[in-house]
């Protein structure tokens, strides 16, 4: 029997290994996703002389912010394409290729493990939490950020609402964890406790997605994501055209003085290894 997590991992790995997708994410979505990094590092307690692992580092933004605080940082990603972007931007930081579910480090190697919006892309988030527990020293902290629910994240809610209204959500994609699984604080606490962590906390961090036109959120999903783009591409041409029109109309309602602002809050979660 095939392993569904392996299929989903292959799907995600292939998607994020495409240079146009990696560049699309950093053009469209990084300006909003990076807004949570300060809070992420704060709740992880990142500071001078700490050894920090940034998992799903992407283009290295969280790793670079940790290094600016004086930490010794390693950025890890499963995509060599993403790592090439990270190394190009931050050549002084160590970046390594590896899997979130099998971290290539000895036990007790780090004072903090962070991941900025990596959790929705892991085939087995609980395996990552277990690995983070293993590589942390006693008293070390894990912290991760995820999108709040689509009801709170206007940009995502508009797109998924348009798909539900004009297309199909049940398209044939490799089965993976619910994208918004860890938007639920109770789920976060449950999974962290099961991995051995204690004193879990969760805060909501306000973020604003500023885009230049009502077309941008649809373009962002098509050009800078993997799972959402596959969902859109699986629609019929007629449905896709209707979805695009509905997204444009809904986003236009948020236009103010030549720009569009969409609320896109993050949930930032932290816990401690005993």
Give the pLDDT confidence of 57-69 residue by residue, as tens digits: 999 999 999 999 9
Q: State the pLDDT confidence band at 4, using cuts at 50, 70 and 90.
A: low
pLDDT at position 2 over 60: no
For domain 4-150+173-208+264-272, the CATH superfamily is Vaccinia Virus protein VP39 (3.40.50.150)
| Percent of the chain scoring above 90 in pLDDT | 95
Tell me the mean pLDDT in the region 227-241: 97
pLDDT at position 1 over 50: no
Tell me the mean pLDDT in the region 201-220: 96
- pTM for this one? 0.94
pLDDT at position 38 over 80: yes
Cα 204 from chain centroid (whole Å): 15
CA dist 4 and 243 (Å) reads 29
**Per-residue three-class SS string for the chain:** CCCHHHHHHHHHHHHHHCHHHHHHHHHHCHHHHHHHHHHHHHHHCCCCCCEEEEECCCCCHHHHHHHHCCCEEEEEECCHHHHHHHHHHCCCCEEEECECCECCCCCCCEEEEEEECCHHHCCCHHHHHHHHHHHEEEEEEEEEEEECCCCCCHHHHHHHHHHHHHCCCCCCCCCCCCCCHHHCHHHHHHHHHHHCCEEEEEEEECCEEEECCCCHHHHHHHHHCCHHHHHHHCCCHHHHHHHHHHHHHHHHCCEECCEEEEECCEEEEEEECC
Cα 2 from chain centroid (whole Å): 26
In the beta sheet, which residues pair with residue 266?
A: 147, 205
pLDDT at position 33 over 50: yes
Look up residue 92 and give its two tokens. 């002084």
Of 122, 134, 136, the C-alpha closest to 78 is 122
* Signed CA dihedral, 150, 151, 157, 160: sign only: positive
What values do phi and psi take at 83, rounded to 5? Answer: -65, -35
Q: What pLDDT was estimated at residue 240?
A: 98
Cα 81 from chain centroid (whole Å): 16
Q: What pLDDT was estimated at residue 3?
A: 66
The per-residue pLDDT of the chain, averaged, comes to 96
pLDDT at position 216 over 50: yes
Tell me the mean pLDDT in the region 211-237: 96
Give the pLDDT confidence of 127-137 residue by residue, as tens digits: 999 999 999 99
Q: State the pLDDT confidence band at 257, using cuts at 50, 70 and 90.
A: confident
Q: What pLDDT was estimated at residue 258?
A: 80
What residue ranges do the domains of the chain occupy? 4-150+173-208+264-272
């Amino acid at each position: 029997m095939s392993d569904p997590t392996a299929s989903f991992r292959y799907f995600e790995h292939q998607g994020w290994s495409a240079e146009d997708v990696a560049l699309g994410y950093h053009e469209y979505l990084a300006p909003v996703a990076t807004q949570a990094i300060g809070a992420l590092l704060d709740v992880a307690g990142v500071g001078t002389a700490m050894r920090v692992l940034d998992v799903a580092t992407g283009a290295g933004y969280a790793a670079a912010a940790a290094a600016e605080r004086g930490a010794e940082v390693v950025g890890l990603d499963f995509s060599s394409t993403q790592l090439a972007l990270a190394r190009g931007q931050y050549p002084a930081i160590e970046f390594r290729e590896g899997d979130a579910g099998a971290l290539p480090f000895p036990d007790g190697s780090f004072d903090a493990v962070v991941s900025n919006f990596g959790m929705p892309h892991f085939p087995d988030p609980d395996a990552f939490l277990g690995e983070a527990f293993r590589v942390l020293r006693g008293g070390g902290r894990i912290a991760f950020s995820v999108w709040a629910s689509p009801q709170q994240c206007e940009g995502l809610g508009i797109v998924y609402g348009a798909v539900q209204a004009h297309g199909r959500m049940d398209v044939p994609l490799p089965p993976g964890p619910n994208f918004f699984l860890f938007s639920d604080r109770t789920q976060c606490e449950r999974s962290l406790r099961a991995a051995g962590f204690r004193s879990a906390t969760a805060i909501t961090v306000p973020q604003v997605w500023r885009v230049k036109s009502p077309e941008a959120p649809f373009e962002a999903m098509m050009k800078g994501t993997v799972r959402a783009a596959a969902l859109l591409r699986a629609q019929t041409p007629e449905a896709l055209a209707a979805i695009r029109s509905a997204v444009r109309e809904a986003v236009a309602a948020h236009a103010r003085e030549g720009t569009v602002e969409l609320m896109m809050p993050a949930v930032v979660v932290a816990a401690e290894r005993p």
